[in-house]
Chain A
Amino acid sequence: MTALLELRGLGKDYGARAAVAALDLDVAEGEIFGLLGPNGAGKTTTISMIAGVVAPSRGHARVAGHDVVTAAFAARAATGVVPQDLAIYDELTPRENLDFFGALYGLSGATLRERQAWALGVAGLADRADEPTKTFSGGMKRRLNLAAGLLHRPRLLVLDEPTVGVDPQSRKHIFDTIRALRADGMTVLYTSHYMEEVQALCDRVAIMDGGRIVAHGTIPELLAGRAGAAALVVEIELAGVVGDDAIGAALAAAAAHGEAARDGRTLRITPVASVGAVIAAVEGAGVAIAALRTHAADLEAVFLAHTGHSLRDG
Chain B
Amino acid sequence: MLGAAIKKDLLLLVRDRGAIMSLFLLPIVFIAVFGSIFGGDGEREPLRLAVWRAPGDARGAAIADALDGTGMFAVRRAPTADRARDDVAAGAVVAALIVPADLDPRAGRPAELVIDPAASPQVKGPVEGAAQAIVARAALGPPPGGDVAAVVARAPPGVRDPLPDVSGFQVAVPGNAVLFGFFIALSCALSFTEERRSGTWRRLLAAPVARWRLLVAKLVPYLIVGLVQFALLFGIGIAAFGLQVAGSPLALVALVVATVTCATSLGLAMASLGGSEKQLGGIGSICLLVMGLVGGAMVPRAVMPETMQLVGLAVPHGWALDGFFDVLVRPGTGLADVWPSVVALLGFALAFVGFGALRSRRLLAG
**Pairing of A with B:** yes
A binding-site residues for B, Cβ under 8 Å: 48, 51-54, 72-74, 76-77, 79, 81, 83-92, 96, 99-106, 148-149
Q: Mark B1-42, 1 if CB is under 8 A from A, else 0.
A: 101110110011001100000000000000000000000000
With A99-B4, A103-B1, A103-B5 as contacts: A89 and B209 at CB distance below 8 Å: no
Q: Is the CB of A83 within 8 A of B5?
A: no
Interface size on B, residues (CB 8 A): 22
Taking a contact as CB atoms closer than 8 A, the residue among A54, A88, A106 that contacts B200 in the complex is A88
Q: What's the count of A-B pairs with C-beta under 8 Å?
A: 79
Q: Is the CB of A103 within 8 A of B4?
A: yes
Q: Complex formed: what's the CA distance from A96 to B8 in Å?
A: 8
Does B307 sit within 8 A of A, measured CB to CB? Answer: no
Q: Mark B198-215, 1 if CB is under 8 A from A, else 0.
A: 111011111111000000
Q: Mark B178-216, 1 if CB is under 8 A from A, else 0.
A: 000000000000000000001110111111110000000
Q: Complex formed: what's the CA distance from A72 to B5 in Å?
A: 21
Q: Is the CB of A104 within 8 A of B198?
A: no
Q: Is the CB of B205 within 8 A of A87?
A: no
Taking a contact as CB atoms closer than 8 A, the residue among A76, A77, A81, A90 that contacts B202 in the complex is A81
* Residues of chain B within 8 A of A53, CB atoms compared: 202, 205-206, 366
Q: Is the CB of B206 within 8 A of A52?
A: yes
B binding-site residues for A, Cβ under 8 Å: 1, 3-5, 7-8, 11-12, 15-16, 198-200, 202-209, 366
Q: List 20 additional A-B contacts (Cβ < 8 Å) besides A48-B366, A52-B205, A101-B207.
A: A51-B205, A54-B366, A77-B208, A87-B198, A87-B203, A89-B8, A91-B11, A91-B12, A92-B11, A96-B8, A99-B7, A100-B4, A100-B8, A103-B3, A104-B204, A104-B207, A104-B208, A105-B208, A148-B203, A149-B203
Least distance between A64 CB and chain B CB atoms (Å) = 13
Q: Is the CB of B206 within 8 A of A92?
A: no
Q: Is the CB of B199 within 8 A of A83?
A: yes
Q: Is the CB of B203 within 8 A of A83?
A: yes
With A91-B16, A100-B8 as contacts: A83 and B202 at CB distance below 8 Å: yes
Q: Is the CB of A73 within 8 A of B208?
A: yes
Q: Complex formed: what's the CA distance from A314 to B4 in Å?
A: 40
Q: Is the CB of B199 within 8 A of A85?
A: yes
* Residues of chain B within 8 A of A104, CB atoms compared: 1, 4, 204, 207-209
Least distance between B188 CB and chain A CB atoms (Å) = 16
Which chain B residue lies CB-closest to A92?
B11
Q: Is the CB of B208 within 8 A of A89?
A: no
* Residues of chain B within 8 A of A102, CB atoms compared: 4
Q: Complex formed: what's the CA distance from A89 to B204 in Å?
A: 12
Which chain B residue lies CB-closest to A101?
B203
* Residues of chain B within 8 A of A92, CB atoms compared: 8, 11-12
Q: Is the CB of B11 within 8 A of A96?
A: yes
Least distance between B90 CB and chain A CB atoms (Å) = 57
Instruction: Determine which residue in B8, B198, B207 has the highest number of CB atoms from chain A within 10 A of its CB, and name it.
Output: B207
* Residues of chain A within 8 A of B208, CB atoms compared: 72-74, 76-77, 104-106
* Residues of chain B within 8 A of A74, CB atoms compared: 208
* Residues of chain B within 8 A of A83, CB atoms compared: 199, 202-203
Q: Is the CB of A51 within 8 A of B206?
A: yes
| Pairs A–B under 8 Å by Cβ, sample size 14 | A81-B203, A81-B206, A85-B199, A87-B198, A87-B203, A88-B198, A89-B12, A91-B15, A99-B8, A101-B207, A103-B4, A104-B1, A105-B207, A106-B1
* Residues of chain A within 8 A of B7, CB atoms compared: 99-100
Q: Complex formed: what's the CA distance from A226 to B8 in Å?
A: 52
* Residues of chain A within 8 A of B366, CB atoms compared: 48, 53-54
Q: Complex formed: what's the CA distance from A104 to B209 in Å?
A: 7
With A74-B208, A76-B207, A96-B8 as contacts: A85 and B1 at CB distance below 8 Å: no
* Residues of chain B within 8 A of A106, CB atoms compared: 1, 208
Least distance between B267 CB and chain A CB atoms (Å) = 19
Q: Complex formed: what's the CA distance from A87 to B205 in Å?
A: 12
Least distance between A78 CB and chain B CB atoms (Å) = 9
Q: Complex formed: what's the CA distance from A79 to B5 in Å?
A: 21
Which chain B residue lies CB-closest to A87?
B199
Least distance between A283 CB and chain B CB atoms (Å) = 51
Least distance between B209 CB and chain A CB atoms (Å) = 6
Q: Complex formed: what's the CA distance from A88 to B195 in Å?
A: 9
With A52-B205, A52-B206, A89-B12 as contacts: A100 and B5 at CB distance below 8 Å: yes
